Amino acid sequence: MKRMCCQLDQAHRMKLLYTAWFFFHFLLTLSQCVAMAVEVPFIPKQVLIFGGNGFIGSSTAERLIEAGHKLTLVSRGNWYWDSASTVMPFVQHIKCNRRETMEQCSELKHYVANIEQIDAVIDFSAYYAETIQESLDLVHRKTKLYIYISTDSVYEVCIKNHTGPTLETDAVRPESEEMRKNFESWDSYGHHKLECEEHLTNFSAGNSALPFIILRLPDVIGPRDNTNRWWYYQLWMKLKYYLEKDIIVPKSSENRLMSMVYVKDVADMIQKLVQNSYPNAYFQTFNLALKETFTLKQFLETMRDQLNATNVSITVEDSPLATRMYPSVKLGPVDTTKAEQILQWVPTKWADVLRETCDFYEMAIASHYFINQRSDMIRMLQNYLTTKPNNVYRALRNVYGLGYPETKDEL
């Protein structure tokens, strides 16, 4: 009988303990739900963008506008593609030509003088060291972060001592003055962009200690590319039946792997940096690129398959008729391990980039929003891919249903 009572007491104690445990976890879960239900007020960032109306810049501006930030764009006033409707109405625009001295940009100087703080400066357009130096002198006292958009072309003027994908640490100029000058003459673009990086780094290492992040990008692809390279290849394949020139890849590019980066991934990354998502990334440089690498021939073949242009042949020849619009560098792909580790860089898969970009340009060819861009492409096709310009109009009419009239070639 005593043993039974002890067993009942034990059962009662266990029941009380279980009830207490259940009640504790109920309260804990309830408190977590209440905490989640309390909204943290969103405070928009004050963002100053040098550029913002071109290919990468407009995509980034659209992303920041969507996130609710306050944007001030500094440019010469050209609005590319449809940025006049997707960006311009939602930002403060300051007209300023950075190729001239900053002293002439009175509106920009007034903006900086009268704003309390700039949360982030995004610099797409600095090309000369003097340009970025003037901008740093103007804004650094009120800026919390300076993001400079650079390029993998900087590696073309440096010494790389290994054969693997290019690392951020490979951006070291040769000690030989003669070799430096040779590299500068071979790739002036890479030289000037690296010079801008060097000025930013040295400026921050001085008395200012201005936090900066440098993003080095390979060839950028996606909708609204101002270089028209992707669209040119795409139309070449779609209209090939009406064009005389074949698609030939240079023999020198046959086995050369290349990196590319999707414009929307870059815009998303910049938006996260503006949100101060990765403060441990300050004072550092990062390569950004797709995970996949490919040769030019492989790149074109995947585009052809996506477009169902099965009758188009892509050959590799050592021929003066060969065309190479990608890549813009010779050192091969870049390594993105550092960005993956510090920035949690997870780019869009190549299959999705391919589909989305092809779909955009298939839409753009018939869109009334892009008449000027279509006219530019027509002229390019007429100048480089056929001796009978009217064939391009026939092709656009028959393939895309565009209303170009019947024309006759001159005898």
Backbone dihedral angles phi then psi of residue 121, each to the nearest 5 degrees: -110, 130
What residue type is assigned to position 192 of the chain?
Answer: H
- The owner of tokens 């100048």 is 383
Q: Could you report the per-residue pLDDT of 184-230, keeping only the tens digit for each?
A: 999 999 999 999 999 999 999 986 789 999 999 999 999 999 999 99
Q: Could you report the per-residue pLDDT of 115-157, keeping only the tens digit for each?
A: 999 999 999 999 999 999 999 999 999 999 999 999 999 999 9
Query: How much of the chain exceeds pLDDT 90, in percent?
Result: 81
Taking CB atoms within 8 Å and a gap of at least 24, the contacts of 367-373 are 369/82, 370/81, 370/82, 373/81, 373/228
- The owner of tokens 């869009």 is 348
- Could you list the beta-strand ranges (E) of 92-191: 92-95, 120-123, 146-151
Q: Report the distance separating Cα 291 and Cα 73, nearest Å.
A: 31
Residues in Cβ contact with 338 at an 8 Å cutoff, skipping those fewer than 6 apart: 167, 168, 284, 286, 287
Residue 41 confidence (pLDDT)? 75
Structure confidence at residue 26 as a pLDDT band (50, 70, 90): very low
Q: Is 161 helix (H, G, I), strand (E, B) or coil?
A: coil
212-217 and 46-50 strand pairing: unpaired
What residue type is assigned to position 391 of the chain?
Answer: N
pLDDT at position 248 over 90: yes
Nearest partner of 337 among 219, 200, 170, 196, judged by Cα: 170
Q: Could you report the per-residue pLDDT of 90-107, keeping only the tens digit for each?
A: 999 999 988 888 888 999
Residue 167 confidence (pLDDT)? 98
What residue type is assigned to position 53 of the chain?
Answer: N
**In Å, what is the CA distance from 111 to each residue of 57, 92, 105, 391?**
20, 10, 10, 52
pLDDT at position 17 over 50: no
Backbone dihedral angles phi then psi of residue 241, each to the nearest 5 degrees: -60, -30
pLDDT at position 7 over 50: no
Nearest partner of 358 among 233, 174, 254, judged by Cα: 233
Residue 43 CB coordination number (10 Å): 9
Q: How far apart are the first and last CA of the chain?
A: 120
Residue 208 confidence (pLDDT)? 75
Structure confidence at residue 294 as a pLDDT band (50, 70, 90): very high
- Residue 266 in tokens: 């870059």
Query: 345-383: string of b/e by CB count within 10 Å (b at 16+)?
Result: bebbebeebbeebbebbbebbeeeebeebbeebbebbbe
DSSP 49-102: EE--SSHHHHHHHHHHHHHT-EEEEEESS---TTHHHHTGGGSEEEE--TTS-G
Q: Report the distance separating Cα 73 and Cα 86, nearest Å.
A: 13
- Residue 188 in tokens: 């002036």
Structure confidence at residue 352 as a pLDDT band (50, 70, 90): very high
